[in-house]
Structure 1
């Protein structure tokens, strides 16, 4: 930017009307040049220290000397813009463009004013001119069309840019927003169909069309496109996304598994789509337990996914349905790669208890107590398990050790007292049994208030 301005300044220094030169003596011309140069440099110096009023004063003197020098008006525009005097800034930038229509930076100055004042309609007019200088301004034009809700123009421009310079995440978000409105989907579908006919080996157009049909609940048409994609590009992973859904709906487990495994192994498919497919297969396998091993294999594709712990979430799915054995299996699977996940440790302990696996719960909770000695829930489950196994002394010791770690958890404290009452009952200490049961009742009443 500075190089262009300096060039413009030098040009402006020598831009003295021919009529003036014809009438002036040589020494007068030199004086005019010197005066202009001095005032102009003074304006640059004052602008540099943000003394915009003095910079404007100096530029006004430059304007008196060379009233048709576009660089002077450009500099005036910049100083007024810095002062947020938007009308003065715009007027001077506009004057600069009238003197020199090829001064791109003056047009940029007008654009800056419109953007800061949120006059997006006027900004569009200016940017349409800037595009003639530099096609990169088409990106700005896209955003301005979106801002002014000219979605038809935005969509046309987005498609043009996608074709000529490639897709960007920002434009794809704009496009998705536009296509939420059904009135734009027809033209877009027609455009994609035409592109597929023109170039049947371009996978991206099939994918976009599949998504559009899926979003408008036109599953059969989506499947037709997926099949066409599979035919034209047999190696396409995207075709399997729709084929998975088709085979699932037809209750064809083997073909469903085949399509799913291709999708989950693909580096091209988005993680959100993979999670959706796994969730759908999870529901399918619940009603078709012969595919449990395929579900386990599918979970393996997500071992390195730190955002969503798939095995854990599947454990929760089965726990909510009180299918304790399956919940246990997936919690145990998850803990192999996340041994310190306390939430899962507690969920697994509960599942062991619900599944009446007290011997395993006693051993598991004791191991966890060694690793996490301040977690009261572990002591509770250890006490519960040992009470059920009639190891009352062990139960009492664990419960008495853990109760001190409870902080503001009346429900857990209640359960501790119940289990302590059971432990003392087993030990034959009626007095202590009554004390803890009484305390548990008091806590229960407190919970109900």
Structure 2
């Protein structure tokens, strides 16, 4: 991690803090050297370097700092050189400069941290570990960086030992758990992962998170019975837990304990602390279950009513598709239209809405919506076709012809859709009293249909 501080006050202090006088100055005496001029030149070049660095002119900053170095070999000059070389991606020069700065001031955290940055960007894990071990004495947070570096260097045993020590000293931490799981995933040590979670649970048997983590890992490794037992134990310890039902409903479904499964799903779908994504998964699982066991449709309707008003897009689409399977087109359309409010540019949902509007004889709505769809997708022939069908039904022949003829240009290798266009054009020209063209398009449609 980076621990950066603003250096301006520090740097100003280096140059303008007055030094105590130990002797009377004779202003009439001629100076014995040019130290005053040197210091003035140094400050001038140094602050010009900071200015150039501030406006991201890093090479100019380096040039000014090299002038400073010739005047006074200060550690801070090498530090600033290192920072600018990093920006210029000249990592070799950056390392050399920062090592000089550290050599002059071995206990300066800023210098060490910048050198650590060089090694990180170069991917030099071995050197980075050496620097971070020095930085740990300034901030304990560097210990987590150290664990991450051990993982990169494939020293998993040392990394786990360090993570264990940190957990004991400071408690469980999500970032450290991420690193720990990285090790388990890389090494395939699932038993060690589970042992660690069991130990945590034994040490803190009231912690809901410990149970949930163990349930998840048991399920992931195929130990379903242990996962189910752990979920049951959590329910005993915390009867009010709602999160446990995210696991329980699946176990109940697998055991054909339908009433308990439904109760768990209702708990999940009515729980404000459970996010929309999780609720969507539960609802989709229940939709699939009801599709195979339609006698529980009433429960699905009840569960749907439990979902918060801010249903997710996936939830609404899932409900729409379910009702579509049941051939309840009105409800399917209602949910598709609701989902479209959340993702108004979703091509597939727009298409489903328009097709249902045509099926349900909502021609005026279909005309408006298809024209809006064509603004978004001007090269999609399906929207021209739907627009033409709707105009034909309303006896608006000329508008139908205009839309259908425009859409023909966008059909590519789709004989069925092309036949549908010809059929609708035949209807439109007949409405327009042009029987000759009507018959021509009817023959074209029949020819395509016979070929396929």
Query: 2-side partners of 1:73 and 1:90: how far apart?
Result: 10
TM-score by length of 1: 0.74
Instruction: Compute the displacement of 1:429 (Å).
Output: 9.7
- After superposition, the C-alpha distances for 1:244-264 in whole angstroms (9 at most, x for unaligned) are 111111222221111112122
Mapping 1:368-447, distance limit 5 Å: 368-369=366-367, 372=370, 375-379=383-387, 382=390, 394=395, 400=401, 402-407=403-408, 408-409=410-411, 411-419=416-424, 421=426, 434-441=439-446
Instruction: Compute the displacement of 1:81 (Å).
Output: 4.8
- After superposition, the C-alpha distances for 1:345-402 in whole angstroms (9 at most, x for unaligned) are 643665688xxxxxxx363234433565574343455589x6xxxxxx9597885465
Q: Is the 8 A contact 2:78 2:97 kept in 1?
A: yes
Report the CA distance shift for 1:314/1:36 in structure 2 as closer, same or farther (over 3 A).
Answer: same
Name the structure 1 match of 2:131. Answer: 126
Instruction: Compute the displacement of 1:186 (Å).
Output: 2.1
SS in structure 1 of the partner of residue 366 of structure 2: helix
SS in structure 2 of the partner of residue 180 of structure 1: helix
Report the CA distance shift for 1:191/1:406 in structure 2 as closer, same or farther (over 3 A).
Answer: same
Q: Is the 8 A contact 1:328 1:348 kept in 2?
A: no
Give yes or no for the alignment of 1:114 onto 2:115. Answer: no
Name the structure 1 match of 2:25. Answer: none
- After superposition, the C-alpha distances for 1:9-49 in whole angstroms (9 at most, x for unaligned) are 469998xxxxxxxxxxxx99995964663454244135234
Report the CA distance shift for 1:40/1:349 in structure 2 as closer, same or farther (over 3 A).
Answer: closer
Name the structure 1 match of 2:65. Answer: 55
Name the structure 2 match of 1:357. Answer: none
Q: How many residues align?
A: 412
Q: Is the 8 A contact 1:59 1:76 kept in 2?
A: no
Mapping 1:266-285, distance limit 5 Å: 266-285=271-290
Mapping 1:212-251, distance limit 5 Å: 212-251=217-256
Q: Is the 8 A contact 1:316 1:327 kept in 2?
A: no
Name the structure 2 match of 1:335. Answer: 337
Name the structure 2 match of 1:21. Answer: none
SS in structure 2 of the partner of residue 126 of structure 1: helix
Q: Which moved more, 1:262-271 or 1:125-134?
A: 262-271
TM-score by length of 2: 0.73
Mapping 1:45-124, distance limit 5 Å: 45-48=47-50, 49=52, 50-63=60-73, 70-71=75-76, 73-75=78-80, 77-78=82-83, 81=86, 85-124=90-129
SS in structure 1 of the partner of residue 185 of structure 2: coil
SS in structure 2 of the partner of residue 132 of structure 1: coil
Query: 1-side partners of 2:418 and 2:329: how far apart?
Result: 26
Instruction: Compute the displacement of 1:438 (Å).
Output: 1.5
Mapping 1:322-361, distance limit 5 Å: 323-326=325-328, 329-335=331-337, 338=340, 343-344=348-349, 346-347=351-352, 350=355, 361=359
Report the CA distance shift for 1:428/1:114 in structure 2 as closer, same or farther (over 3 A).
Answer: closer
- After superposition, the C-alpha distances for 1:262-316 in whole angstroms (9 at most, x for unaligned) are 122224334433222222211111122122132234345265245x342323433
Q: Is the 8 A contact 1:238 1:269 kept in 2?
A: yes
Report the CA distance shift for 1:46/1:348 in structure 2 as closer, same or farther (over 3 A).
Answer: closer
Name the structure 1 match of 2:310. Answer: 304
Q: Is the 8 A contact 1:127 1:137 kept in 2?
A: yes
Name the structure 2 match of 1:211. Answer: 216
Specify every segment of 5 or more residues in structure 1 that has no aligned partner in the other structure, as ranges.
Answer: 15-26, 64-68, 354-360, 387-392
- After superposition, the C-alpha distances for 1:114-140 in whole angstroms (9 at most, x for unaligned) are 123221321122112112111233343
Q: Is the 8 A contact 2:45 2:64 kept in 1?
A: yes
Q: Which moved more, 1:189-198 or 1:335-344?
A: 335-344
- After superposition, the C-alpha distances for 1:209-258 in whole angstroms (9 at most, x for unaligned) are 11111211221111111111111122222211121111111222221111
Name the structure 2 match of 1:365. Answer: 363
Q: Is the 8 A contact 1:311 1:331 kept in 2?
A: no
